[in-house]
Amino acid sequence: MAGIEERTFIAIKPDGVQRRLVGEIIRRFEQKGFKLVGMKFLHASEELLKEHYSDLKDRPFFAGLIDYMHSGPVVAMVWEGLNVVKTGRVMLGETDPADSKPGTIRGDLCMHVTRNIIHGSDSVESANTEIDLWFQPEELVSYQNCTDDCIYG
């Protein structure tokens, strides 16, 4: 089916790891029907994080954001599926957890904008840039998901 190979970059931030929310967050993407094609657990370098958030470098919260993202390990993932970029953002909720609806990850699991537990790409273009930044091509795994017919018809 057209469009089911769209990919997004999702990262569980250091607070999500510390609060033991890794399984809960992965469960939501799995149960929705998305396909995991890449995953690693790493303590990201400041250099990588500054590049990842380079569009925010002039914002007053940038230094604090980099410190927080560098405070501990993160789970970096690539998920694949129909409209996964847009649907992933819906599943995350709004940037500020206070504006996020119940049922979303941020709406259910966190409270403050500076500790919002998860990152998700905001467009197909930024997803491709972020995937290239965080993963080598050989770290992404191609495989057939045997549930595709059940999920997409």
**Residue carrying the six token digits 């500054």:** 50
Amino acid at 73: P
Instruction: Answer with the entry of ligand DAT, Mg ion, none that 147 interacts with (C-beta below 5 to 8 A by kind).
Output: none
Q: Which is nearer to Mg ion, 96 or 122 (CB)?
A: 122
Binding characters for Mg ion, 71-110, by CB under 5 A (x = yes) = ----------------------------------------
Instruction: Answer with the entry of ligand DAT, Mg ion, none that 113 interacts with (C-beta below 5 to 8 A by kind).
Output: ligand DAT
Q: Which is nearer to ligand DAT, 4 or 72 (CB)?
A: 72
CB-based burial label for 74 (10 Å; 0-12, 13-18, 19+)? buried
SS3 category, 31: helix
SS3 category, 113: helix
Min dist. Cβ of residue 32 to ligand DAT (A): 19
d(Cα 140, Cα 33) in Å, to the nearest integer? 18
Residue 95 labelled as part of a binding site: yes
Residue 7 labelled as part of a binding site: no
112 noted as active-site residue? no
d(Cα 115, Cα 119) in Å, to the nearest integer? 11
Residue 128 labelled as part of a binding site: no
Residue 19 labelled as part of a binding site: no
Active site residues: 119
